[in-house]
Structure 1
Amino acid sequence: MTALPDITALDRSQEPALRALLDGKAKPLGALGRIEDLAVQLALIAGRPDPTTDRALLLVFAGDHGLTESGVSAYPSAVTVAMVATLLAGRATANAFAQVAGAELRVVDAGVAADLAPHPALIFAKVRKGSRNAALGPALSADEVDSALARGAAIAREAAAEGFDVLALGEMGIGNSGSAALLVHRLAPAPLAGCVGPGAGHDAAGLARKLAVLEQAAARADAVDPREVLAQFGGLEIVMMAGAVLGAAAARRPVLVDGFICGAAALAAIRLVPAAADYCIWAHRSAEPGHAAMLVAADARPLLDLGLRLGEGTGGLLALPLVRAAAALLREVASLDDVLAGRL
C-alpha cells in the first residue's frame, strides 16, 4: 500500500491576528462576509498575511468507466475522447471560462479508453484504459488505486513547484456521475437513490435504469474503507483527482473543488487524510441531487449557487475571481487608520 502525502493541518492559532487585520481595513466590520473567511483561509494556507493567487492552473482529469457498458450514461464512452480533443483544441466551455478567469488549462489522461496523441497541454498519466464495470466486479485493483493516487499527488506537487499559486480541478469522463454517486453513497454515507442524478442528460427512463445498475453495484460489495470504496466503485480520473487534492494540500496550495464528481474525489481525499479539508475551497453547489449530501459530509460551504452541472472545472473557474478578490483584500486594501491619517 502506497503511503499517502503528509499534510499539515492549518495553524488556527493565527486566525485571531488575521481577523484583527481584516477588521482594521477601511470597511465596516465583517462587511465582506464570506470573502473575509476565504481571505483567512488563504492566508493560513500560505502561512503569511499577503497570499498570492496570480497563477492558477485548471487540471481536467479524463477517464472512462466500465459502468457505461450497463447503460448508466445517456452517451457512449467515445464522447470522452471527443471532449478531450475539444479541450485540447481550446474550444470547450472550460477553455472559454479559463481564458476569462486568467487560468491555464491542462488535460490529464488518467484512464481514457483510447490512445491519445501527444499535445503540449496533455499530461499522460494513464493507469489503464478505463475502469472495469463496477456493476459486475471491482472497478479497480488496489494497485491501480494506489498508482492513481500517487500520480495525482505528483501532478499537483509538480504544478506547485512550477509556481502555480492556486489549483482548480475538473473532470471529463462519460459515466463518472454514476461512479461519484456510489462513492458519495458509501463515503458520506448517504442513501444511494438520493445520490443519483441525470448526469449528462438522462430522461426518466434512463435515470431509472441508471439507479438500477448502481443498486446492483452497491449490493455487490459492502466496502466502507476509503481505499476499498475507490477500488470497488471509483474511476481513474476521480481517484487521480483525490490524489491531486492530497498533493496540493501537502504543497500548501489551495484547491478549487468543482461540482459533484470533483467533490466526490475531494470527499475521498478527506476521508483518506482529514487535514486535506483545510485546503479545499468548494466552488459551487451543483444541481446534481447528491451534491447536497456530499457538502454536508465534507462540512463544506460552496461559494456559488448557479445551478451548474457541467463539470470540466467550470464552477471552479467561475469562483476563481472570488479567491483572487479575497487575497487582494489582505494585500491591497488600506487600513482605516491609514485612511484617517491620510497615509495613502
Structure 2
Amino acid sequence: MKKVNDLVFLLLMMLLTAVFTSTYVSALNLKEVQCNNDGSMEFTVIGTDPDESYTKDMIVRIEDLIVNGTWTGKSVKDSYSEKQRYATFSMPENALPEKKAYKINLYYLEDDQSKTKEFEADCPGLVFSCSLLYIDVDRCYTDKGHFTAEITAKGLRQSNLVNGFNVDPGKALDFMISTKNPYKAKTNIIDKRGPLPSEFHISESGPDKYLLTFDLDQNNYVKDIALGLSEDRSFPLYLADKCRTSKYSHIKLSDYETCSLHESEEPVIVTPEGYDVRNNINQDNNQDADRNINENNTDNAITGQVIKNSYNAGNTLIFAAIIIVVLLVIILVMYSRIKKNRKPF
C-alpha cells in the first residue's frame, strides 16, 4: 500500500510540474533577429508581462564579449501599444563582419531575478560598409618633373567575401590635377587641368597607404590635386552610392591638396589672379628688401622727427625757466628798493 501511495504522490508531483511549466510565461520573448551584409545587426524583443522590463538593466553578450548597442525604448511590457510592447537592440556597421552564426545571450531582470534568453544571429558576412571608407591626400610634390602624392585610402579592401567590396585604388579613385604648363591627360586632351596622364602608377606603401607617381616635362609641375571615390556604376563600386547620402555626410570621400615643388618645400601658393609665388621668389625677395629699406627709412625719419620735437620741447622749457628766474630777480630788486625808501612812522 505504501508503494502505491508513493507512486501516486510522484505522479501528482510530475503533473503539477508539467502544469506549472506549461502555464509559465517569460517576461519577454525574442520576436526577430536580423544580421545585415554591412556588418550591422538588430533584434527585437516583445514584452509578455504586465510588469515592465527595463532595457537599461539588459546586457547583451555575443560569443564571449559583452557588447554595446542602442535600444529603441526604455522598457517593454504586455500592452496594446506597440511602442510599449516592443524594443529593438541595434549594433552599428562592421560590428559582426564574419559569415557565421553568432551566439547571443540576453540577460534581463524578471521579478528581481536574473534571466537569460539564448539565440543565434545568422550573419551573411561583411560585403560593404560606408563607415570603413576614408580618403585623404597626406602630401604631394614635384621634383624635376617627377610627381609623387602620398595618399590614405581606407576601406578599399574591406571584405573577405568573393562578392565583397575589394577594389584597386586605380579604379576606385578619381583624380584631377592642375599644372603650371599644359600636359597631355589620359583623355588625350592637352590642358593645364584635367585627369591623370595616360601613364601613372599607384603602389601600396603600407596598410591603407598608397603612392601615386607620374612624370611631366622637367619644367612642369603639379600645383594641386583633388581626388574622390569613383562614381563608376560597375560592380562593386556602385555599392558606395549610398555613402553619398546625408546619413553618411560625416564620411570623408574626397580631398584636395596644394602641392610643393620639392619634397621638402612648402606648397605652391597661387593668388586668385593666377600669380605664382614660386616663379617670382627673387622678385618678391627684392621687393621685400626694397620694402624693408623704405620701412627703415620711414622709421629713421620718424625717429629723427621725434628727436627734433624732443629737442625743441627742451629748448622751450629752458627758455621759460630763464624768463621765470629773471622775473624773480627783478621782483626781489624792486622789493628791496621799496623797503629802503619806506619812511618809519
TM-score range, shorter chain: under 0.3
Normalized per residue, the structure richer in helix is: 1
The structure showing larger relative contact order (alpha-carbon pairs under 8 Å, at least 6 residues apart) is 1
Normalized per residue, the structure richer in strand is: 2
TM-score by length of 2: 0.21
| Bigger Rg over Cα | 2
TM-score by length of 1: 0.21
